[in-house]
Every structure is written in structure tokens, then in C-alpha cells.
Chain A
Amino acid sequence: MLAPLEIVLSYEQVFLFSDEARNKIKMKSESKFLTGLAKRVIVCLDVKAGRVVKGINFLNLKDAGDPMESASIYSREGADELVFLDITASVEKRRAILEVVAKTAEQVFVPLTVGGGIRNLQDIRILLKSGADKVSINTAAIENPSLIKEASKKFGSQCIVVAIDAKKIDAMHWQVFSYGGTKPTSKDALKWAKEAENLGAGEILLTSMDKDGTCDGYDLGLTRIIAEAVNIPVIASGGAGNLEHLYQALTKGKADAVLAASIFHYGEYTIKETKRYLKNKGLPVRT
């Protein structure tokens, strides 16, 4: 970390230095306030028929199944964004997520992304209208890539997240799966990420199927190859087991944000200590 500049130099004085020295002075004087875009820590909650289904018994909640209450606590703790993943299977029960989103948007003042089962423009429109800030599209985008184009044109790229579930084939290749990782596709993850960007996606939510649920770290190779290839933010997902894993994904993996679920839900780490950890390691984070 750079120390704030203690002596203020006039422009003329600065002008006498070399370019390198001037840059250093400029960086020093700006470092205090212009730390730049923070790396984001995103918490994901699985929601089924309007109820949270994973863990979170540590949070001292009145109702551990209420997504709004969990979301509210995480946001007050300092989570940069929240994701509701709707895993409701039956169509008629999907209405529940809309009520959950509406209720959450009234009381939680950080960005909220909703994913799971989004099929078309109408689904997106209803979710955004209910109070979601972004939607995450996976299978529907694979089966109908023009949905990305139409949705980003209609609602703006900033609210269209393309989720990619990828499984490793070799050191340079990852295969894309649809339907929650159950159906293999012919798509290569790197090519698909680039295509999604070209179609207008505003972000990529990248999940390693090999690492998901293992708690032994993100797939850094996958994360890096895609984060370096696209010019939109990449969120790393799948495999977080400790805070060092988050740090690795944001540095070696070049991710712009990290998504995690269980390490927060089961109370292993709080958002506060996560942020402190990353900050102490020199990463720009919002604390």
C-alpha cells in the first residue's frame, strides 16, 4: 500500500521530475482517495418456492428461511451484491420469487441479481419490474443466444449477466453445460464468453463445475483465461473454502468479483472479516 503524500508539491515542482517520478507522485497523492474500482464480494442465496434452502442457521435469524431477512443482514454486514438463485422446479410456484424480490428490494439497498429459470424477455421484464437490478441467464442464452442481444438492447447491458457453468476438458478448454450443469453442450467456455460479450452481456458469472462444492478453491485457470479474454467484468464462482481462495481468484484468477455461498452461510467467515482480509492483502475493497 502506498502512503499518502505528506508534502504537497506545486505543479512546477512536479514538472522538474522525470515521467516516472511524476507518476509516482501522482499515484501517491491520489492513492488516498482514488483507489479505483473495488473488488466485489457477492453472496449467493438459493431460493426455492420463495424460501432460502441452504444453511444460514448461524445468522441469528428470526426466520432462517426468509430470503429478505438473510439479504438484509448480509447487505448491512457489507456484502457488495446479492444473488438469488431460484431453484424452484415447478412453473406455478415461480411466482414466489417475484414476491421475494419485491419485498427484498424495499429493504435491501445493494444490487440484487436474480437467476434461475429465466426463459424470455417477459421473464426478465417482470423480474426487473419487481425490483431486481440484474438478471442472470444461463440455459435460455445457450439455446437462444439472440436473447442476450434483445435483452441488453431493451434493458441495457448493465442488467444482463450471462451465467456459464463450465467443466474442464484440458488445460486450455472447458465445456459449457446447461440445465444446472446436467446437460453437456457443444460450446467451449472461452468462445461462449466472448460470444456473450459480443451479443451485449454486461457481466459473466463463471462457475467451475469441477470445483463447485469442493471448498478447495476456485478454478484459477478457467477464471483467468476468460477474465483476460473479455472486456466485461467476470465473477468467479464455485470452490470457495477459505479467504485465501477469494484472494487467489481476484489476483491470479484476474476476476473482478467473487461469489460465494457456503463459507458465509455456515458462519465460517463474516463479510466483515473477508473484506478486512482482502484489504490487508492490498486489494481495493469497500469496507
Chain B
Amino acid sequence: MDKFIAVIDYGLGNLRSVSKTLEAVGARVKVTNSPEDIACACAIVLPGVGAFKRAMDNLTRLKVLPSIVRAINQGKPFLGICLGLQILFTESQEHGSNRGLDLIKGEVKKFGPGIKIPHMGWNSVRFKAQGAKHRIFDGIPEGSYFYFAHSYYVEPKDKDVIISTTGYGSEFTSAVNKDNIWGVQFHPEKSEKLGLKVLENFYSNVSPVRNCPKL
């Protein structure tokens, strides 16, 4: 096996859906929480639903954070989905204040009053970037619907990382890109054809890691 995507298993989220969807677009997938696997993988996907603190606690307890950060610093493509996007940020307001990975500067905030929470269902995206930063949305029409299920949203300090926004009460960041880091607030694995297209676009950025030992 010379080319596989590591889907991080940290006890939160629908891993089966994520891994099956990636397989459906042609990727080889390993659901794992072993630092060795993460070191060998040519790309990392961090799924996740639920609470921010629990996610950080689980990832810390499993001792996978250093290997994830190392993989990102090596330039491996990384995709965070929903909570997997949120923990890339500096801190979250969820249940007090909790530190995230701080790979992207900014905060995770709760949706304001006057709208139903969770933001649950299909909502449309408005594109904010072009060229390489837009790659994950290649072949997807502006205004396309994706499936969301969350109560908190990310607010990046550097607006240049925003590659799509979505309207719910106000306009919030629904996808980001910074170098090899990609993050989507929606669930591509639950967003039918266009969701598969997002994952396919991510997968097509993946290049095999040489010297990856046979599993």
C-alpha cells in the first residue's frame, strides 16, 4: 500500500461514512489513531462531530496531535471536517474557552440569538477564492447546497483563508484553505454528489509518499 489517506479515529463522529465516501471516489483509506500510520499516510482527514473540548481531550489522550501537526508541517494535504475544521483554530467559546491547535488564527463562536440552533440541514455556499485556493470546489457551481449540522462556526483573523461563506443569520465561514490545510464546516460525506466531488477534489491533490513502508 503506497498511497493511503489516514482518517483519524478519536472516538467522535461518523468515521464509517467518511471512509466509505473517500473509498467511493477511489482513495485507499486507513481509519487509525496510530502516529506511525499518520507518519506514513499521504494525506490526513480529521472528521468529527460533537463537543470541541472532548475532541481536544481525546486527541491529546491518544497522543496523535504531534504526528498530525508534523504531517501538516511536512506539507501533507489535510482536510478537517466540521469539528475537525474547528479544532484547527486558536480557541473556541464552546463551554467556556478552550484552546485549539492554533494552526489557523481565529476563534470558534456560537451562532447568535434569533436563529434555530443547531444549524441543521442543507445550505448553499458562496465562493470567496480563485485558482489554487478554490481547487476543492472545482467543478461545483456557486450556490450549491451542502449538509451542515453544527452550533458553532469559525471566524478566521486572516480573511484570506476563507474560501467560501454561507448565510445563516449572518454570513459565516463555511470553508477555509491555508497552504496544504483545508477545512469545511459542512459534511461532504453527507452531501450526495457534490459532497463526493469535494472529496474527490481533495483526493486528487494527494500525492503518494515515497518510503512509506508496506502495511
- Which residues of A are interface residues toward B (Cβ below 8 A)? 30, 32-38, 40, 75-76, 80, 102, 105-107, 109-111, 128-131, 133, 153, 155-159, 202-203, 231-233, 256-257, 286
Contact = CB atoms under 8 A, between A and B. Distances in A.
Given A131-B17, A156-B49, A233-B116, A33 B124 contact: yes
B58 interface: no
B151 interface: yes
A156 B50 contact: yes
Contacts of A76: 192
A202 B195 CA distance: 23
Given A102-B16, A131-B16, A155-B50, A109 B120 contact: no
A109 B148 CA distance: 13
A156 B51 contact: yes
B22 to A, nearest CB: 11
B16 A105 contact: yes
A256 B143 contact: no
> Which of A40, A110, A158, A257 has most B Cβ within 10 Å?
A158
Contacts of A75: 192
Given A34-B167, A233-B121, 15 more contacts: A34-B126, A36-B167, A37-B123, A37-B148, A38-B124, A105-B14, A109-B191, A109-B195, A111-B147, A111-B149, A133-B149, A157-B151, A202-B118, A231-B116, A286-B145
Contacts of A128: 14
A35 B192 contact: no
B3 interface: no
Contacts of B125: 33
Given A30-B167, A35-B143, A158-B149, A105 B20 contact: yes
A157 B118 contact: yes
B150 A158 contact: yes
A129 B145 CA distance: 26
B189 A231 contact: no
A133 B14 contact: yes
B50 A109 contact: no
Contacts of A32: 143
A132 to B, nearest CB: 8
15 contacts: A30-B167, A33-B125, A34-B126, A38-B145, A109-B24, A109-B190, A109-B195, A110-B190, A111-B187, A111-B190, A157-B151, A158-B50, A202-B149, A232-B118, A257-B121
A128 B11 CA distance: 11
Given A34-B167, A232-B117, A105 B17 contact: yes
Nearest to B125: A33
Contacts of A35: 124, 143, 167
Interface in B100-127: 116-126
A231 to B, nearest CB: 5
A115 B151 CA distance: 23
B93 to A, nearest CB: 16
B14 A33 contact: no
A256 B121 contact: yes
| 8 interchain residue pairs of minimum CB distance | A156-B50, A34-B167, A286-B145, A158-B149, A33-B126, A38-B122, A286-B122, A33-B143
Nearest to A80: B122
Nearest to A129: B16
Contacts of B121: 37-38, 40, 80, 233, 256-257
B64 to A, nearest CB: 20
A207 B117 CA distance: 21
Contacts of B149: 111, 133, 158-159, 202
A159 B118 CA distance: 10
A130 B16 contact: yes
Contacts of A233: 116, 118, 120-121
Contacts of B51: 153, 156
B142 interface: yes
Contacts of A102: 16
Given A38-B145, A105-B17, A130-B16, A158 B118 contact: yes
B32 to A, nearest CB: 16
A243 to B, nearest CB: 19
Of B12, B120, B122, B171, most buried by chain A (CB within 10 Å of CB) is B120
